[in-house]
C-alpha cells in the first residue's frame, strides 16, 4: 500500500458522543490522500465499536488500542504508526473545515523551510458563546501568522493551537515525538521546535473550530494550569540562554502571573530582584518578601537603567499597561528577547 500524503493523528478516550462529528469532518476533506491514525487510550464507552464501524466502511481509518496511559504515550504510539509525508493533529472534540488538510499540505509544499505550522481557529461551546478571555486569546493567536510573529510571542502563550499542528514527519522524528513533562505537551513541542531552529508558519484562514468544554483535558489537568505554564517558560528561558550574563530577573507585574513566575525562578535558584507594578504603592511595599515598586506612570528611565544587567520579565496582564512598558523599554534601548521578554 502506498503511503498517504497526510497522517491525521488523533488520541481518543471515551469520546463516543462527539466522535461522529469529527469523523464526518474528516470524510469531507477536499484532500483525499489521508489516513487517520486513532489511538484508543483505554476507552470504556462505545468509542471502540463506533470506530470499528467507521473503519469497516473506510480503510483509511487505522485503529490502535492501548490500556489507559495518558495523552503523551497515546500520541507517541500514534506517531510511530503514521505513514504519511505530513502529520496533522486533531482532537476528537474539535471540528475542521473541508479545506483544512489541503490548505496545510499546500502551505508546507510551498514553504519547505517550515517545520511546524498551524491555522487560525474559531472557538465554540455546546452551551453558548465562548468567554471574553477565550476570545482575547483566540484573537491574539489568530493575529500571529508569520514565523517572526509566532517566534516573537513564543513565551507569551502557545501561539499555535495544538489541534491545528501540521508538519513534515521529519519534524516529529527529529524532536523525538512528544515528551512527558510537568507542563503541556503541545507547548513543550513548540518550544523544542524553536530550540531546534525550525521555522513556524500558519495558514491565515480559520480551518479548525476548537470546542471549549468544562471537562476538556486542557481545562482540568494541572499540566495545563498557570503554575505549569510558567514552569515551562522558566525552563526554556534558561535553556535558550536568556539568563546568561544576567544578575537575576526583575518581574514587571505583581499579579498572580508575576507572583507565579517569581516562584518558578526562585525554585531554580535564580535571583529575583523584586516586582515592578504599574500602580502607586507605598515605598516600603513588599510582596513574597521582595520589594514591590509601584509607578502609576511608566517607571522613570533611571529606575529601569539600574536593572540593565537583569532580565526584565513583562508579566503585566493589562494590555495597555504592557504596551506602554514595552514601548518605554524599547525607547530606552532595551531590546526584546535580549534585555526583556513578555511572558503573558
What per-residue confidence (pLDDT) applies to 317? 87
What is the number of alpha carbons within 13 Å of residue 47 lying toward its C-beta? 24
Residue reference for cell 502563550: 157
Burial of residue 113, with CB atoms counted within 10 A of its CB: 0-12 exposed, 13-18 middle, 19 or more buried = exposed
Domain 226-342 has CATH 3.40.50.720: yes
Cell digits for 30?
Answer: 477536499
- Residues forming CATH 3.40.50.720 domain(s) in the chain: 226-342
Answer for the pair 264, 231: CB distance below 8 angstroms, yes or no.
Answer: yes
Q: Which candidate, 37, 162, 34, places its Cα nearest to that of 102?
A: 34
Examine the pLDDT at 218 and tell me if it is beyond 80: no
DSSP 336: B
Share of the chain above pLDDT 70, in %: 98
What per-residue confidence (pLDDT) applies to 61? 98
Mean pLDDT within 20-46: 97
CATH superfamily, domain 6-224, is Spore Coat Polysaccharide Biosynthesis Protein SpsA; Chain A (3.90.550.10)
What per-residue confidence (pLDDT) applies to 214? 72
Mean pLDDT within 167-190: 97
Answer for the pair 201, 107: CB distance below 8 angstroms, yes or no.
Answer: yes
Mean pLDDT within 130-153: 96
Examine the pLDDT at 219 and tell me if it is beyond 70: no
What per-residue confidence (pLDDT) applies to 215? 64
| Contact residues for 246 (Cβ-Cβ < 8 A; gap 6+) | 309, 310, 311
- Residues forming CATH 3.90.550.10 domain(s) in the chain: 6-224
Answer for the pair 96, 28: CB distance below 8 angstroms, yes or no.
Answer: no
Burial of residue 304, with CB atoms counted within 10 A of its CB: 0-12 exposed, 13-18 middle, 19 or more buried = buried
pLDDT in tens, 243-256: 999 999 999 999 99
Q: Which candidate, 309, 311, 300, 296, places its Cα nearest to that of 342?
A: 311
DSSP track, 86-103: EEEE--TT-EE-TTHHHH
Share of the chain above pLDDT 90, in %: 88
CA-CA-CA-CA torsion for 108, 60, 178, 188, nearest 10 degrees?
50
Amino acid at each position: 500500500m502506498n503511503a498517504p500524503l497526510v497522517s491525521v493523528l488523533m488520541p481518543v478516550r471515551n469520546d463516543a458522543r462527539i466522535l461522529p462529528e469529527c469523523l464526518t469532518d474528516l470524510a469531507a476533506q477536499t484532500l483525499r490522500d489521508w489516513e487517520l491514525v486513532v489511538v484508543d487510550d483505554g476507552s470504556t464507552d462505545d468509542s471502540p465499536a463506533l470506530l470499528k464501524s467507521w473503519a469497516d466502511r473506510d480503510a483509511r481509518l487505522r485503529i490502535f488500542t492501548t490500556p489507559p496511559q495518558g495523552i503523551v504515550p497515546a500520541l507517541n504510539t500514534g506517531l510511530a504508526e503514521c505513514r504519511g509525508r505530513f502529520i496533522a493533529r486533531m482532537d476528537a472534540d474539535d471540528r475542521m473545515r473541508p479545506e483544512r488538510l489541503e490548505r496545510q499540505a499546500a502551505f508546507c509544499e510551498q514553504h519547505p523551510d517550515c517545520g511546524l505550522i498551524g491555522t487560525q481557529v474559531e472557538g465554540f461551546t455546546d452551551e453558548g458563546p465562548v468567554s471574553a478571555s477565550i476570545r482575547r486569546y483566540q484573537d491574539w493567536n489568530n493575529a500571529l501568522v508569520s514565523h517572526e510573529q509566532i517566534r516573537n510571542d513564543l513565551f507569551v502563550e502557545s501561539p499555535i493551537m495544538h489541534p491545528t499542528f501540521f508538519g513534515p514527519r521529519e519534524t516529529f522524528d527529529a524532536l523525538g515525538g512528544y515528551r512527558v513533562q510537568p507542563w503541556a505537551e503541545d507547548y513543550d513541542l513548540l518550544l523544542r521546535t524553536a530550540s531546534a531552529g525550525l521555522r513556524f508558519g500558519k495558514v491565515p484562514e480559520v480551518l479548525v473550530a476548537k470546542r471549549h468544554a468544562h471537562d476538556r483535558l486542557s481545562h482540568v489537568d494541572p499540566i495545563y494550569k498557570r503554575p505549569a505554564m510558567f514552569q515551562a517558560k522558566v525552563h526554556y528561558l534558561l535553556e535558550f540562554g536568556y539568563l546568561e550574563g544576567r544578575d537575576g530577573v526583575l518581574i514587571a507585574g505583581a499579579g498572580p502571573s508575576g507572583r507565579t513566575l517569581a516562584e518558578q525562578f526562585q525554585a531554580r535558584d535564580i535571583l529575583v530582584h523584586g516586582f515592578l507594578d504599574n500602580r502607586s504603592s507605598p515605598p516600603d511595599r513588599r510582596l513574597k518578601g521582595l520589594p514591590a515598586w509601584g509607578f502609576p506612570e511608566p517607571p522613570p528611565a533611571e529606575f529601569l537603567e539600574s536593572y540593565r544587567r537583569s532580565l526584565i520579565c513583562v508579566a503585566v496582564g493589562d494590555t495597555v499597561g504592557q504596551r506602554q512598558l514595552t514601548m518605554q523599554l524599547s525607547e530606552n534601548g532595551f531590546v526584546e528577547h535580549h534585555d526583556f521578554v513578555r511572558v503573558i
